[in-house]
Amino acid sequence: NIRKTPFMTINKTKFDGLLLINLDVFTDERGSFREAWHAKKLAELGLPSFIPVQHNVAYSKKGVVRGIHAEPWDKFAHPTYGLIFACIVDMRPSSNTFGRHITFELDEAHALFVPKGFGNAYQTLSEFAVYSYLVTDHWSADVTYPSIIYNDRDLDIKWPISPAIVSAKDKKNSTFRQAYPSYKSR
Protein backbone atom coordinates (compact mmCIF):
# COMPACT_ATOMS: atom_id res chain seq x y z
CA ASN A 1 0.00 0.00 0.00
CA ILE A 2 1.48 3.29 -1.14
CA ARG A 3 0.04 6.73 -0.52
CA LYS A 4 1.51 9.77 -2.27
CA THR A 5 1.26 13.52 -2.02
CA PRO A 6 3.53 16.20 -3.50
CA PHE A 7 6.97 15.92 -1.90
CA MET A 8 6.44 12.60 -0.05
CA THR A 9 5.15 9.03 -0.25
CA ILE A 10 4.27 6.65 2.61
CA ASN A 11 4.88 2.93 2.17
CA LYS A 12 3.67 0.24 4.56
CA THR A 13 6.23 -2.39 5.61
CA LYS A 14 5.86 -6.02 6.63
CA PHE A 15 5.65 -4.83 10.27
CA ASP A 16 2.25 -3.44 11.22
CA GLY A 17 2.59 0.27 12.04
CA LEU A 18 6.17 0.72 10.80
CA LEU A 19 6.17 3.10 7.82
CA LEU A 20 8.82 3.99 5.24
CA ILE A 21 8.51 7.55 3.96
CA ASN A 22 10.08 8.49 0.63
CA LEU A 23 10.92 12.18 0.44
CA ASP A 24 11.22 13.97 -2.89
CA VAL A 25 14.64 15.65 -3.04
CA PHE A 26 15.07 18.55 -5.43
CA THR A 27 18.61 19.34 -6.52
CA ASP A 28 20.22 22.04 -8.57
CA GLU A 29 23.59 23.78 -8.79
CA ARG A 30 23.11 25.19 -5.25
CA GLY A 31 22.47 21.87 -3.54
CA SER A 32 19.20 20.24 -2.54
CA PHE A 33 15.87 20.79 -0.81
CA ARG A 34 13.30 18.42 0.69
CA GLU A 35 10.35 18.56 3.04
CA ALA A 36 11.51 16.19 5.78
CA TRP A 37 8.47 16.78 7.99
CA HIS A 38 5.05 18.16 7.09
CA ALA A 39 2.39 17.28 9.67
CA LYS A 40 -0.63 18.01 7.49
CA LYS A 41 0.60 16.11 4.43
CA LEU A 42 1.75 13.13 6.50
CA ALA A 43 -1.60 12.98 8.32
CA GLU A 44 -3.40 13.05 4.95
CA LEU A 45 -1.23 10.11 3.87
CA GLY A 46 -2.20 8.10 6.94
CA LEU A 47 0.54 8.76 9.47
CA PRO A 48 -0.98 8.01 12.89
CA SER A 49 -1.46 10.86 15.34
CA PHE A 50 2.06 12.10 16.01
CA ILE A 51 2.81 15.16 18.10
CA PRO A 52 6.56 15.51 18.58
CA VAL A 53 7.83 17.16 21.76
CA GLN A 54 11.59 16.71 21.28
CA HIS A 55 13.96 16.79 18.31
CA ASN A 56 17.21 14.81 18.62
CA VAL A 57 20.19 14.81 16.28
CA ALA A 58 23.06 12.28 16.33
CA TYR A 59 26.30 12.66 14.40
CA SER A 60 27.99 9.30 13.84
CA LYS A 61 31.19 8.20 12.13
CA LYS A 62 31.41 5.34 9.63
CA GLY A 63 30.87 1.94 11.25
CA VAL A 64 29.12 3.26 14.37
CA VAL A 65 26.13 1.19 15.56
CA ARG A 66 23.59 2.88 17.83
CA GLY A 67 20.89 0.76 19.46
CA ILE A 68 18.94 -1.53 19.65
CA HIS A 69 16.65 0.65 21.80
CA ALA A 70 12.88 0.31 22.26
CA GLU A 71 12.07 3.68 23.80
CA PRO A 72 8.49 4.13 25.04
CA TRP A 73 7.58 6.76 22.43
CA ASP A 74 6.91 7.05 18.72
CA LYS A 75 9.75 8.25 16.55
CA PHE A 76 10.03 9.89 13.11
CA ALA A 77 13.64 9.23 12.08
CA HIS A 78 15.47 10.68 9.10
CA PRO A 79 19.15 10.83 8.13
CA THR A 80 19.58 14.46 7.16
CA TYR A 81 23.04 13.69 5.77
CA GLY A 82 24.80 10.48 4.80
CA LEU A 83 23.82 6.86 4.40
CA ILE A 84 22.75 4.51 7.18
CA PHE A 85 21.76 0.87 7.54
CA ALA A 86 18.63 0.97 9.70
CA CYS A 87 17.45 -2.09 11.60
CA ILE A 88 14.05 -2.24 13.25
CA VAL A 89 13.23 -5.12 15.63
CA ASP A 90 9.65 -5.98 16.52
CA MET A 91 9.68 -6.08 20.33
CA ARG A 92 5.91 -6.32 20.79
CA PRO A 93 5.27 -9.74 22.42
CA SER A 94 1.69 -9.90 21.09
CA SER A 95 2.75 -9.28 17.47
CA ASN A 96 2.94 -11.96 14.77
CA THR A 97 6.38 -10.60 13.86
CA PHE A 98 7.73 -10.48 17.45
CA GLY A 99 11.47 -11.12 17.51
CA ARG A 100 11.97 -10.47 13.81
CA HIS A 101 13.82 -7.59 12.23
CA ILE A 102 13.69 -5.63 9.01
CA THR A 103 16.46 -3.50 7.51
CA PHE A 104 16.61 -0.48 5.23
CA GLU A 105 19.31 1.65 3.66
CA LEU A 106 18.27 5.22 4.39
CA ASP A 107 19.61 8.45 2.98
CA GLU A 108 18.32 12.01 2.78
CA ALA A 109 15.39 10.84 0.64
CA HIS A 110 14.01 8.40 3.21
CA ALA A 111 12.53 8.47 6.71
CA LEU A 112 10.94 5.95 9.05
CA PHE A 113 7.96 6.23 11.35
CA VAL A 114 8.83 3.88 14.22
CA PRO A 115 5.98 3.32 16.69
CA LYS A 116 6.72 2.49 20.31
CA GLY A 117 7.22 -1.22 20.75
CA PHE A 118 9.88 -1.45 18.06
CA GLY A 119 13.60 -1.55 18.70
CA ASN A 120 15.49 0.98 16.62
CA ALA A 121 19.14 0.70 15.61
CA TYR A 122 21.36 1.90 12.81
CA GLN A 123 24.91 1.71 11.48
CA THR A 124 26.58 4.55 9.59
CA LEU A 125 27.68 3.47 6.11
CA SER A 126 29.06 6.79 4.81
CA GLU A 127 32.10 8.60 6.25
CA PHE A 128 29.65 10.21 8.67
CA ALA A 129 25.91 10.62 8.96
CA VAL A 130 23.54 12.98 10.73
CA TYR A 131 20.50 11.14 12.09
CA SER A 132 17.59 13.35 13.09
CA TYR A 133 14.53 12.13 14.93
CA LEU A 134 11.37 13.62 16.35
CA VAL A 135 9.87 11.87 19.39
CA THR A 136 6.52 12.02 21.20
CA ASP A 137 7.90 12.14 24.75
CA HIS A 138 10.79 13.82 26.52
CA TRP A 139 13.92 11.83 27.22
CA SER A 140 14.80 11.41 30.88
CA ALA A 141 17.52 9.42 32.64
CA ASP A 142 14.75 7.89 34.75
CA VAL A 143 12.97 6.30 31.77
CA THR A 144 13.70 2.60 31.36
CA TYR A 145 13.11 0.55 28.25
CA PRO A 146 14.44 -2.64 26.65
CA SER A 147 17.83 -2.30 24.99
CA ILE A 148 19.18 -5.32 23.14
CA ILE A 149 22.81 -6.08 22.27
CA TYR A 150 23.47 -5.23 18.63
CA ASN A 151 25.04 -8.63 17.86
CA ASP A 152 22.37 -10.80 19.51
CA ARG A 153 22.66 -14.37 18.23
CA ASP A 154 18.92 -14.99 18.01
CA LEU A 155 18.26 -11.82 16.01
CA ASP A 156 21.25 -12.55 13.73
CA ILE A 157 21.40 -9.06 12.21
CA LYS A 158 23.87 -8.83 9.33
CA TRP A 159 25.58 -5.51 10.06
CA PRO A 160 27.37 -4.36 6.89
CA ILE A 161 30.56 -3.04 8.55
CA SER A 162 32.67 -5.15 10.86
CA PRO A 163 34.02 -4.55 13.36
CA ALA A 164 31.31 -2.17 14.45
CA ILE A 165 32.00 0.83 16.70
CA VAL A 166 29.65 0.47 19.68
CA SER A 167 29.39 2.50 22.89
CA ALA A 168 30.37 0.88 26.19
CA LYS A 169 26.76 1.28 27.33
CA ASP A 170 25.32 -0.50 24.26
CA LYS A 171 27.87 -3.32 24.63
CA LYS A 172 26.23 -4.07 28.02
CA ASN A 173 22.69 -4.36 26.61
CA SER A 174 20.84 -7.59 27.31
CA THR A 175 20.22 -10.35 24.81
CA PHE A 176 16.76 -10.69 23.34
CA ARG A 177 16.12 -13.83 25.44
CA GLN A 178 17.18 -12.02 28.62
CA ALA A 179 14.78 -9.18 27.88
CA TYR A 180 11.99 -11.54 26.76
CA PRO A 181 12.42 -14.92 28.53
CA SER A 182 9.34 -16.41 26.84
CA TYR A 183 10.79 -15.72 23.36
CA LYS A 184 11.31 -18.73 21.13
CA SER A 185 13.40 -18.08 18.02
CA ARG A 186 11.75 -18.79 14.68
Q: Report the catalytic residues.
A: 69, 133
**CB within 8 A of 9, min separation 6: which ones?**
2, 3, 21, 22, 45
Q: By the 8 A CB rule, do 125 and 87 touch?
A: no
CA-wise closest residue to 57 among 130, 8, 7, 2: 130
CA distance 37 to 23: 9
